[in-house]
Structure 1
Protein backbone atom coordinates (compact mmCIF):
# COMPACT_ATOMS: atom_id res chain seq x y z
CA UNK A 1 0.00 0.00 0.00
CA UNK A 2 1.32 3.47 -0.94
CA UNK A 3 1.79 5.87 1.96
CA UNK A 4 3.28 8.69 -0.13
CA UNK A 5 2.69 9.45 -3.80
CA UNK A 6 4.09 12.49 -5.61
CA UNK A 7 3.37 13.20 -9.28
CA UNK A 8 5.17 15.83 -11.40
CA UNK A 9 6.20 18.00 -8.43
CA UNK A 10 7.87 21.31 -9.18
CA UNK A 11 8.97 24.15 -6.90
CA UNK A 12 10.27 27.68 -7.45
CA UNK A 13 11.54 29.95 -4.71
CA UNK A 14 9.87 33.37 -4.53
CA UNK A 15 11.53 35.94 -6.77
CA UNK A 16 13.22 33.39 -9.05
CA UNK A 17 12.49 32.35 -12.62
CA UNK A 18 13.92 28.85 -12.42
CA UNK A 19 12.72 25.67 -10.77
CA UNK A 20 14.67 24.44 -7.76
CA UNK A 21 13.14 21.02 -8.45
CA UNK A 22 10.99 19.95 -11.38
CA UNK A 23 9.29 16.80 -12.62
CA UNK A 24 9.65 14.75 -9.43
CA UNK A 25 7.67 11.50 -9.30
CA UNK A 26 7.87 9.32 -6.22
CA UNK A 27 5.98 6.45 -4.62
CA UNK A 28 6.80 5.09 -1.18
CA UNK A 29 5.12 1.92 0.01
CA UNK A 30 4.42 1.02 3.62
CA UNK A 31 7.49 -0.59 5.19
CA UNK A 32 9.98 0.76 2.64
CA UNK A 33 13.20 2.41 3.76
CA UNK A 34 14.06 5.45 1.63
CA UNK A 35 17.29 7.47 1.49
CA UNK A 36 17.73 10.81 -0.29
CA UNK A 37 21.37 11.21 -1.24
CA UNK A 38 23.17 13.76 -3.38
CA UNK A 39 25.62 16.61 -3.51
CA UNK A 40 25.18 19.79 -1.51
CA UNK A 41 22.64 22.08 -3.17
CA UNK A 42 20.96 19.42 -5.33
CA UNK A 43 17.49 19.87 -3.76
CA UNK A 44 17.21 17.22 -1.03
CA UNK A 45 15.97 19.64 1.64
CA UNK A 46 13.75 21.50 -0.82
CA UNK A 47 12.05 18.22 -1.75
CA UNK A 48 11.44 17.30 1.89
CA UNK A 49 9.97 20.73 2.65
CA UNK A 50 7.45 20.50 -0.20
Structure 2
Protein backbone atom coordinates (compact mmCIF):
# COMPACT_ATOMS: atom_id res chain seq x y z
CA UNK A 1 0.00 0.00 0.00
CA UNK A 2 1.39 3.37 -1.00
CA UNK A 3 1.85 6.26 1.36
CA UNK A 4 -0.84 8.37 -0.33
CA UNK A 5 -3.34 5.54 -0.09
CA UNK A 6 -2.54 5.05 3.60
CA UNK A 7 -2.92 8.78 4.31
CA UNK A 8 -6.26 8.77 2.49
CA UNK A 9 -7.39 5.76 4.51
CA UNK A 10 -6.35 7.41 7.79
CA UNK A 11 -8.10 10.66 6.84
CA UNK A 12 -11.27 8.70 6.12
CA UNK A 13 -11.03 6.91 9.47
CA UNK A 14 -10.49 10.20 11.27
CA UNK A 15 -13.52 11.74 9.56
CA UNK A 16 -15.69 8.75 10.52
CA UNK A 17 -14.47 8.92 14.13
CA UNK A 18 -15.21 12.65 14.35
CA UNK A 19 -18.65 12.19 12.80
CA UNK A 20 -19.51 9.38 15.20
CA UNK A 21 -18.19 11.42 18.13
CA UNK A 22 -20.29 14.43 17.04
CA UNK A 23 -23.40 12.26 16.79
CA UNK A 24 -22.83 10.92 20.31
CA UNK A 25 -22.40 14.45 21.68
CA UNK A 26 -25.51 15.61 19.83
CA UNK A 27 -27.59 12.78 21.29
CA UNK A 28 -26.33 13.63 24.78
CA UNK A 29 -27.19 17.30 24.25
CA UNK A 30 -30.66 16.43 22.99
CA UNK A 31 -31.20 14.27 26.04
CA UNK A 32 -30.23 17.17 28.30
CA UNK A 33 -32.56 19.51 26.41
CA UNK A 34 -35.47 17.10 26.80
CA UNK A 35 -34.79 16.79 30.53
CA UNK A 36 -34.68 20.58 30.90
CA UNK A 37 -37.96 20.90 28.97
CA UNK A 38 -39.55 18.41 31.35
CA UNK A 39 -38.27 20.32 34.37
CA UNK A 40 -39.53 23.64 32.96
CA UNK A 41 -42.94 22.05 32.41
CA UNK A 42 -43.02 20.84 36.00
CA UNK A 43 -42.03 24.29 37.27
CA UNK A 44 -44.71 25.94 35.11
CA UNK A 45 -47.30 23.53 36.47
CA UNK A 46 -46.21 24.21 40.05
CA UNK A 47 -46.39 27.97 39.42
CA UNK A 48 -49.85 27.70 37.90
CA UNK A 49 -51.06 25.58 40.84
CA UNK A 50 -49.72 28.07 43.37
CA UNK A 51 -51.62 30.92 41.65
CA UNK A 52 -54.96 29.13 41.95
| TM-score category (smaller protein) | under 0.3
Q: TM-score, normalised by structure 1?
A: 0.17
Higher helix share: 2
- Higher RCO (C-alpha 8 Å, min separation 6): 1
Q: Which has the larger strand fraction? A: 1
